[in-house]
A and B are shown apart, each in its own frame.
With several copies, the nearest count.
Chain A
C-alpha cells in the first residue's frame, strides 16, 4: 500500500505544478484519503483564485472542523481553522473588519447543515459579501461515517446501523428560502464547471452559497459515490433565467441533481454597501 501512496502523491504533485496549483498551497500534503473529492474542489478553488489574480495575502479563509475543515491547513493564505460549524460567523467578522479582503468560508455538510445550520439564514439575509463553499459528502467524514443532515433517508451509517430515520435537507432550497443572492451547485468531478461557478461566486458582491457534491470514498460506498454522482448530475440548461426565484426553487426541489447557477441577484447591495449608502 505504501508504494501506491507514493505513486499517487507523485502523480498529484505533477498535476499540481502544471496547473500552478502550488501558488496558493503550502508544502503540507493533504491528509485526505486518496480518491476523496476534496482534491478536485481544492484544485478548482486554487484555479479560480489564480484566474481572478487574487494575491495570497488578500485571501482570508475560515473553515469549520471536519475533513473539509482542514482545507486552510494546506493553503498558503490567511487561514483560520475555527470550530465545528462556525466558519460562517468567523468569515463574516473577517469581511466586516476588512472589506478589501476576499473571504471564503469552508464547511462540511455536518458543519453547516447540522451544527452550524443556525448561522446560514442570517448570513444570507444580511448579504454579507463572503463565499461559502459547502463540501457536501452527505456523511461525517472526520469522525468516521455517521449520518449527516444530507445523508439519504434509510442509508446505513455508523450512527444508524438500522438506517437513517431522518429525511435529508436540501441545501440549495434552504439557501434560496433564506434569501441568498447567489446560489449554485457544483460537482467535485467537474473541475471546469466548478471553476466557472466559483469565479462567479467569488466576484459576486454579497453572500454566495455554493453547494458542492463530492463523494466520501471511505465512508459512503453506496449512495453519493463517484459513480452515482456522475450518473445523476445534470447541468442546468443554458436558457435558465438565474433571476427567477420561483424557478430556482422548483428545480432545487427536484431529485435530479442540477448543477450550475440556480439564482443570481445583482441588485441587492451587500451588507456593507448598504450601510455605506445610508
Chain B
C-alpha cells in the first residue's frame, strides 16, 4: 500500500460552519485510522464576518506538523478563500460553490484566481442545501458529501459520523445536515468527472490502544484532572481560556473548584495558597497574564510552595498578536522574575507531550516544592490530533510530596538542609508540623535572616533541587544519527515537529542530521547536550521568535557559535523552512 499524506482545508466566513465541518471531517478520518494533525484559524475580531479556516493534514505516516501546502481546498466563501490559494499545491484541488448565494457574486470567483495546473470542481452548494433543508445552512455538509464522492470515501460511515456529531441536537438538525450531505454526495457522483488523482479510503493499521481526538488545551485539562487537580484559579486570556472553560465543566464533577479570579495576580496567589494547604492547583494564561504573575513566581520558589503555571504563548511583546503563534516567552519562562530564581520549565513539542508535560509538572512541583512553568503556544493549544489514550500518572506521581516522618516532627525543621535540596514539607492539619514560610531569605526554621553565609547556603539548596531532579525527568530525545552529525538541531517546543520532519527528509537525502529536544527545557541536561554537540559539526536552533531566545540561552552551556532560524510569521514552523536552512548549512 502506498503512503497517503494529504492536507485539506475548509475556508469560510464565521457562521458558515467552517470549523464544525472540519471537526466532523477529522473525526471520520481518524476513525479510519489515519494519523491527523489539524489546526483551526478564527477571525481575530470578536464577530463580524471574519475568515475561518479548518486545516487538516492526515497521513498513513507519523506526522509532526500541520503541513505547509494544501492538496484540497474547500471554499465555502470565495473572497476569503482566494488568499488560501497562496499555499495550494501546484496541482491542488479546489472545491467551490458554483452557484453561491447572491451576496457572493460581488466578489470575483475563486476560479479566476487559480493558477494553471490547479484543478477545480464547482458544485452548487447553496442550491443543494436549499433543496435538502430549505435554507443555506447545510452548504458545508454538501461540500463534505462531494468530498466523499470525489475521493472514494465510504459515505455511509461518514454519514454516521455526522449523526454522532449532532446526536444531542434536535432531530430536524440531524436530518438537515444528513440530507445536505447526501445531496452533495449524489450530485457529485452524478455530475463530476474526476480529473485529479487523490483518494483516501483507509489509513494504516493502528495499534490496539484507544485513540482520542484532542488539542493541546484539552490535553492539558485532561492531564490536570488525571493528576488530581483540586483548584484551578484563572483569568480568561487567549489562547489559554479554553483550559479554564473545560475545567469549569470537569472540576465540579470531581469536587474540585474552578475559581475565576479578578486578575492573574489573584489567580497565582490562590494557586500558592492551595499549594501551601497541600492541594494540587494550577493556573493557565498567556503573555500579559504571565507578566503579571512575575512577582508571585519568585515567592513560589523562595517560600518553597508548589505552583503550576501554563503559559500558552502568543505573538508578543505586550498585548501583541493574540491569535498568532510564537515562541517568544522562553526568556520570561526561564529567566523571568527578579533575583536568582531557579524553577522548572516544561515545553511540550506535541499534543501528546501536552498531556505528559502536565502530569510531570504536578509531580515536580509537589516533589520539589517549587514553580513549574509549562510553555504551550497558540498553535499547540489549538492543534488537534488523534492520539493514543495517554498513560495516566502513576501512584508515585500522584503523591509526590515528601512529608516529614514522626521523628522529624518531634522537632520539626521545615527547611532542613538535605543533599537533594528538598526538605520534608508538612501539610496544614499535621500536628507539630507548624511552620511559617516567607519570601524573605530565611534560616532552616523559616526565620527571616540575612547573613551572607546563610544566603549562600539557601541559594545553593534552591539550585540543588534542579540538579537532583535531572534524574527524575525524561531524558532529552535524540533522534537521527548518533555520531558524525552534519547538522545537529537543538529544538524546543512546538517547532520540534518541523525539525523532526526536516531531519527525516535530509537523512533520506543522504545527509546526517539529528535532533535533540527535551520536554524539560530547564534545567538543562548538560551531559546529553554536550555529547550531542560534540558529535555535531554544525548546530542549528530553529525557533519562532525574533531574538533567538533559546539560542542565546544555550550559548552559555555550549560556548560555540550556532546557526539560527528565527521566524515571527505567526504561523507554526514548517518542515520546509527547516529543511532549506539545513541544505544551506550543508552547502556552505
Chain A directly contacts chain B within the complex, with at least one CB pair under 8 Å: yes
Whether, in the assembled complex, A119 has its beta carbon less than 8 Å from a beta carbon of chain B, the answer is yes
Query: When each residue 111-138 of chain A gets 1 if its CB lies under 8 Å from chain B and 0 otherwise, what string results?
Result: 0001101110110000000000000000
Instruction: State the CA gap A58–B235 with chains docked (Å).
Output: 30
Contact of B270 among A77, A90, A118, A121 (CB under 8 A): A90
Q: B172 at interface (Cβ–Cβ under 8 A)?
A: no
Measured CB to CB, the nearest residue on chain A to B429 is: A57
Q: Do A143 and B237 touch (CB < 8 A)?
A: yes
Residue ID in chain B nearest A217 by CB atoms: B47
* Given A1-B13, A81-B439, A92-B269, CB of A143 within 8 Å of CB of B241: yes
CB of B46 within 8 A of CB of A1, answer: no
**A144:B279 contact, CB within 8 angstroms:** no
A78-B428 contact given A1-B13, A94-B273, A94-B274, CB 8 Å threshold? yes
- Distance in angstroms from B343 CB to nearest chain A CB is 17
CB distance B260 to A147 under 8 Å? yes
Roughly how many angstroms separate A185 CA and B355 CA in the complex, as a whole number? Answer: 48
Complex: A149 Cα to B268 Cα, angstroms: 19
Residues of B within 8 Å of A11, CB to CB, are none
Query: Could you say which residues of chain B place their CB within 8 Å of the CB of A83?
Result: 269, 288, 295-296, 299, 318-319, 439
Which segment of B22-30, B243-251, B527-535, B565-573 sits at the interface?
A: B243-251
For the complex, would chain B's binding face be called helix, strand, loop or mixed by DSSP majority?
mixed
Contact with B along A29-55 (1 / 0, CB 8 A): 001111000000000000000000001
Q: Which of B15, B238, B258, B438 has the most CB of A within 10 A?
A: B438
For A177, list chain B residues within 8 Å (CB): none
Q: Given A57-B428, A73-B438, A97-B279, are A218 and B241 neighbors across the interface (CB < 8 Å)? A: no
> A159 touching B245 by the CB < 8 A rule?
yes
Q: Is the CB of A92 within 8 A of B428?
A: no
- Residues of the B chain whose Cβ atoms lie less than 8 Å from the Cβ of A238: none
Q: Is A100 interfacial (CB-CB < 8 Å)? A: yes
A-B contact pairs, 27 of them (CB 8 A): A2-B103, A3-B103, A31-B48, A33-B47, A77-B434, A77-B436, A78-B435, A79-B436, A80-B436, A80-B438, A89-B268, A89-B269, A90-B269, A92-B266, A94-B428, A96-B231, A96-B259, A96-B270, A98-B277, A98-B279, A98-B429, A114-B235, A117-B262, A118-B263, A119-B266, A159-B245, A161-B245
A interface residues with partner B (beta carbon < 8 Å): 1-3, 5, 26, 28, 31-34, 55-58, 60-62, 65, 67, 72-73, 75-86, 88-98, 100-101, 114-115, 117-119, 121-122, 140-144, 146-147, 149, 158-162, 166, 218, 272, 275, 278
Give the top 9 A-B pairs by smallest Cβ distance, nearest first.
A93-B273, A89-B269, A79-B436, A93-B270, A97-B274, A97-B279, A81-B438, A33-B47, A97-B277
Besides A73-B446, A86-B269, A90-B272, 5 other A-B contacts (C-beta < 8 A): A3-B102, A83-B319, A115-B235, A146-B245, A162-B252
B-to-A contact residues, CB < 8 Å? 13, 15, 45-49, 102-104, 106, 230-231, 233, 235-238, 241, 244-245, 248-249, 252, 257-279, 281, 288, 295-296, 299, 303, 305, 318-319, 428-440, 446-448
